Amino acid sequence: MASNNEVRKYIAYWFQLGKKVLIRNGSAALLPKSVIAGDRYSNEFEDCWQKIISPDSGDCYLECTNETIAELLTSGWEISPCARCAMPVVFHENGMPPESCPCHDLANWPNTEMPQPRSPVSTKSQLSGIRDRLLRTGMTNDQ
């Protein structure tokens, strides 16, 4: 089952490539200008996410997909990397992957020469992890 955080991350990755989320059964679209702000998602992304999960928004879809976001938040769905582009795609837990990845209409994707979509990263925790690994291996400035 795809968790709320996995679906949120899925949407955030596709927003970074310019995919919109269609809300109110396709009558409006959401695409924040910024998705990541340092070590967290941007306020603009968080506002979009709240609209996406709001019952007032009706059916919400990632552009070029058939599954509603509400469906993805129920049991029976998984999110895994696309074999072609490594971006997250959804599929039934006991079924086949989708016929096509949402990237199928992106002319320049996959593109290994540009930064890949990502999740927010806490620099402090990343550096602490590196420091801890160095301390475990005995590689410090004291030697």
Instruction: Confirm whether 86 is domain-assigned.
Output: yes
Instruction: Confirm whether 118 is domain-assigned.
Output: yes
Q: Could you tell me the residue range of the domain that residue 130 belongs to? A: 4-137
Instruction: Confirm whether 143 is domain-assigned.
Output: no
What local confidence, expressed as pLDDT, does residue 31 receive? 97
Instruction: Confirm whether 38 is domain-assigned.
Output: yes
Q: Which amino acid is it at 104?
A: H
Instruction: Confirm whether 27 is domain-assigned.
Output: yes
Average confidence score pLDDT of the chain: 85
Instruction: Confirm whether 79 is domain-assigned.
Output: yes
Number of domain units in the chain: 1
For the chain, what's the residue count? 143
Instruction: Confirm whether 142 is domain-assigned.
Output: no
Q: Tell me the pTM.
A: 0.75
What local confidence, expressed as pLDDT, does residue 22 receive? 96
For residues 40-46, average pLDDT: 96
Give the pLDDT confidence of 12-37 residue by residue, as tens digits: 999 999 999 999 988 899 999 999 99
